[in-house]
């Protein structure tokens, strides 16, 4: 059974991080360092910010939740884009806030419409770059202009869970924006390119006033000792990150070329997944429903306007993951190794478990 539901790194965790986590287990009879000092120091050096600009979370999901907790009172407003990451809606609900979901433009953020949606009661805005599940990317210039235009009383959470997959031409310095904007939190994770999803560790970068409010809300021992140690090791493992980047870029290009050849429409992706129109996604899902051994599919969120997404990748076997249930789109993660040929529709039986319908499976 291969889980394909969360865009993890198909290389798994780096050996360096595995060793560090195993060593750290020896001390796991004690509570973790609640400040995460070693990791914060490593991040501070890497990002060139003081350590008190950092908040560690049990995954960056916790950073998103903390941002909502410190920014929103019941009834206040939060703004995010259609096809936003599921946790934005959950964090809004946990804070009893009112969510304004701004229609996307070409599956990406419509920043003008999002700016217009910010009202008197708005206290938080989520922006994901790249976006999950659509893979769309906002260039640095319009993004910086948007951030600058948001009123100071509104917190902006810039979610950069997939930032390591950006091409050199796309990369931008969001930490510099944090230096200028006291209302900005940049959230990043060790779950994706760093390969530590199961250890649950991510971080937020923001100026000290906002950071201290986040840390005050944070459960004291929210990040385990092995997770902290593994993150320090992964952060220093440039080879692993380079390998991850190269593999992803090649696989993503390969899938895009395959879809082109097959005449399937897809949304160009800047992440480690790709969304493709498969026609009747419900039917495709039905085809991968009968039990077999190589796939597990799930579709946890419903997209309101006809989009289903699945991610597929493969190392020794294939992975696939349909994420948004709807009619016609599937999101496919890139393959890890060159795919010789792409059977379509999938021939091999696949095993799927779907929480919603409309999923899609990929077959080697």
Ligand X SMILES: Cc1ncc(COP(=O)(O)O)c(C=O)c1O
Q: Which residues bind ligand X (CB under 6 A)?
A: 6-7, 59-61, 85, 128, 132, 159, 161, 189, 191, 197, 202
Nearer to ligand X, 161 or 350 (CB): 161
| Cα 186 from Cα 113, distance rounded (Å) | 21
Helix (H) or strand (E) holding 232: helix 225-235
Most distant CA atoms of the chain, gap in Å: 57
Report the nearest approach of ligand X to the CB of residue 64 (Å). Answer: 6
CA 246 to chain centre: 19
Give residue number: closest CB to ligand X.
59
Report the nearest approach of ligand X to the CB of residue 84 (Å). Answer: 8
- Contact (CB, 8 A) for 233 and 201: no
HSE value, Cβ hemisphere, 13 Å, CA-based, for 70:
24
Report the nearest approach of ligand X to the CB of residue 109 (Å). Answer: 12
CA Rg value for the chain: 20
| Cα 328 from Cα 306, distance rounded (Å) | 6
Report the nearest approach of ligand X to the CB of residue 155 (Å). Answer: 16
Report the nearest approach of ligand X to the CB of residue 191 (Å). Answer: 3
| Cα 195 from Cα 55, distance rounded (Å) | 20
Nearer to ligand X, 24 or 227 (CB): 227
Nearer to ligand X, 57 or 358 (CB): 57
User: Hey, CA dihedral for 164, 166, 169, 175, is it positive or negative?
Assistant: negative
Residues 6+ away with beta carbon under 8 Å from 202? 56, 57, 58, 59, 60, 61, 62, 63, 161, 187, 188, 189, 190, 191
Nearer to ligand X, 24 or 187 (CB): 187
Phi, then psi, of 178 in degrees rounded to 5? -60, -35
Report the nearest approach of ligand X to the CB of residue 61 (Å). Answer: 3
Report the nearest approach of ligand X to the CB of residue 293 (Å). Answer: 25
């Amino acid at each position: 059974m291969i889980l394909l539901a969360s865009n993890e790194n198909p290389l798994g965790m780096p050996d360096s991080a595995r060793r560090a986590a195993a060593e750290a287990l020896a001390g796991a009879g004690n509570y973790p360092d609640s400040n995460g000092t070693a990791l914060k120091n490593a991040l501070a050096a890497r990002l060139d910010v003081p350590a008190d600009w950092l908040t560690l979370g049990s995954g960056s999901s916790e950073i998103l939740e903390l941002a909502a907790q410190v920014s929103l009172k019941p009834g206040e407003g939060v703004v995010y884009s259609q096809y936003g990451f599921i946790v934005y809606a959950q964090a809004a609900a946990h804070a009893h806030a009112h969510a304004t979901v701004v229609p996307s433009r070409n599956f990406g953020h419509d920043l003008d419409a999002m700016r217009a949606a910010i009202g008197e009661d708005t206290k938080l805005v989520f922006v994901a770059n790249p976006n999950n599940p659509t893979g769309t990317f906002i260039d640095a210039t319009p993004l910086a202009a948007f951030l600058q235009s948001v009123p100071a009383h509104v917190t902006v959470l810039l979610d950069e869970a997939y930032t390591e997959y950006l091409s050199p031409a796309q990369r931008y310095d969001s930490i510099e924006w944090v230096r200028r904007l006291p209302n900005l939190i940049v959230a990043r994770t060790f779950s994706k390119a760093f390969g530590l999803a199961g250890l649950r560790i991510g971080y937020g970068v923001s100026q000290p006033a906002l950071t201290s409010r986040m840390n005050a809300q944070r459960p004291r021992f929210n990040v385990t000792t092995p997770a902290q140690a593994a993150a320090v090791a992964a952060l220093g493992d440039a080879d692993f990150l380079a390998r991850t980047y190269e593999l992803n870029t090649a696989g993503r290009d390969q899938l895009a070329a395959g879809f082109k050849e097959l005449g399937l429409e897809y949304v160009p992706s800047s992440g480690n997944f790709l969304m493709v129109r498969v026609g009747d996604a419900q039917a495709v899902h039905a085809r991968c429903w009968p039990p077999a051994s190589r796939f597990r599919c799930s579709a946890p969120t419903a997209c309101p306007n006809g989009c289903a997404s699945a991610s597929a990748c493969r190392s020794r076997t294939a992975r696939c993951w349909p994420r948004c249930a709807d009619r016609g789109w599937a999101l496919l993660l890139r393959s890890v190794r060159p795919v010789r040929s792409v059977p379509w529709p999938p021939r091999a039986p696949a095993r799927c478990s779907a929480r919603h319908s409309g999923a899609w499976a990929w077959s080697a």
